[in-house]
Chains A and B, each alone.
Chain A
Amino acid sequence: MTTIAPEESALEAVFDATVAADERIEPRDWMPDAYRSTLIRQIAQHAHSEIIGMQPEANWITRAPSLRRKAILMAKVQDEAGHGLYLYSSAETLGTSRDELLDKLHTGRQKYSSIFNYPTLTWADVGAIGWLVDGAAITNQVPLCRCSYGPYARAMVRICKEESFHQRQGYELLLALSRGTEAQHAMAQDAVDRWWWPSLMMFGPPDDESAHSAQSMAWKIKRHSNDELRQRFVDICVPQAEALGLTLPDPDLSWNEERGHYDFGPIDWTEFWEVLKGNGPCNAQRITRRRRAHEDGAWVREAAAAHAAKHGKADR
């Protein structure tokens, strides 16, 4: 920054007042460098999660058991690509580019949600992902619709609408299985058993171990703590699981009258940190496949650029 200190402190006062008044920071507004880099990191990670998240579900497109389910699944995976597009665009308003962010993803310098490092082993996993993973994502993301950074907040409004659609479709898929044959019911229960704990981990480490939380709350990038959101999610899911006729794999789950919330058992944070470090079941597979798609597509992107240069059209 070349700005001299007195001016900068005036700008910072404007920024602080805007955030304090719950108004939006827009791309042309001055913002602290750390606010900018925090947002880029968070939006990029979110965008990467959308596109990596296509893989576990695309794994079932070619095997979907009815044409109706196939259409729903294809449309869902397509929506996730669209979410990636909006999010990379909102990150670009902060002075970065999609290419740069993709490069950081491909070289492991930026992360994506660890949930997508778990495998989709049966058709019911498509339902469990919709119900639990999209459900957890909504719980996390609805407050982001009021995030202090305008372009991100607006992208989240659109994304949340589609995510809640996905959540309902996932729930409905599981319901059909739960009420179906014995084998279908067992398939649904097995999927919920495998996805429940990783979904709770999607809210991030407990509040006292969360590296970025306090500053993000002060900047109104984040509105609620990890533990608050996790509790909210558990409270939503328990009655839904009952309605599905499925159980959640936690013997400690019980209603706590005093707290007005469900108590739940301890989360295996060792597993969380191991998956985050790269030791999850699919970390290597997901990133390898992403890199390969990008490398295989290089000649196509070069051709589009060469054609645009020859014909004076901006296109991608």
Chain B
Amino acid sequence: MTNLTRTPALALGDDALILSHRLGEWAGHAPVLEEEVALANIALDLLGQARILLSLAGDEDELAYLREERQFCNVQLVEQPNGDFAHTIARQLYFSLYQQLLFDHLATGGSELAPLAAKAVKETAYHRDHAEQWTLRLGDGTDESHTRMQRGLDALWRFTGELFEPVDALDAPWQTLRDEWTTRLTTVLERATLTVPQGPQHGAWTAGAGRQGLHTEPFGRMLAEMQHLHRSHPGATW
């Protein structure tokens, strides 16, 4: 494990860990039984990715359960609360499109992340397809679903700029990824009769700083819940 891989492994591992956790919160609440299965599938894939990535950077449980909020370096997008189903789908669409493009790139490179990326890219293609299918159904479904889907996309738009901020020691053509992401997103949203949000892709001063350990308020509560039991029994094995 070179020090050079630690930062990217943590960044991408935290993204997967935190999004998996948020998706896990849907268990028992999904709008149809098929979505209980689908959302759990995605959450499990992401958790699998997180475990591999965090293990490249250290001990997976120490990293997940014993770091403080300021030490997590996931993008702020993934920590955003679930909201309604449309909000969750918007978050998933933004993230899966980005993750697939990035992993596609990493899979063909020679870094220590290449094997993981090559495996994950198939999973991510399914996640993206799932999000796209729902974006089409909700965007071009009823008036209510259209409104909700657009609202979800708009609300999360200000967290999308951070996806393409360069990560230390991670060699990727960030601007090209960003352009490709925008093109693909535009195609999906147009088919879904939705509009690409127009506002800034970075918000107030904290927005876009998740990679530097600056997070949004809901994140601390999420971590408190996630880490509580593990921290209550120091040194125990489970």
Contacts and interface: CB of A to CB of B under 8 A. Distances in A.
Asked whether A and B interact, the reply is: yes
Given A54-B28, A74-B44, A296-B31, A306 B141 contact: yes
B31 A67 contact: no
Interface in A302-316: 302-304, 306-308, 310-311, 315-316
B122 interface: no
A82 B85 CA distance: 20
B47 A77 contact: no
B137 interface: yes
Interface in B124-183: 136-138, 140-142, 144-145, 148
Contacts of A123: 229
A10 B83 CA distance: 59
Interface string A75-98: 101100110110010000000001
B238 A303 contact: no
A62 interface: yes
A302 B21 contact: no
Interface residues of B, number: 49
A49 to B, nearest CB: 14
Nearest to A313: B137
A143 B141 CA distance: 45
A65 B238 contact: yes
A70 B229 CA distance: 12
Nearest to B41: A78
Nearest to A62: B225
Contacts of A310: 140
A298 B54 CA distance: 38
Contacts of B236: 65, 180-181, 183-184
B233 A300 contact: no
Nearest to B17: A67
Interface string B217-229: 0000000011011
Interface of A: 51, 54-55, 58, 61-71, 74-75, 77-78, 81-82, 84-85, 88, 98, 123, 173, 176-177, 180-181, 183-184, 289, 293, 296-304, 306-308, 310-311, 315-316
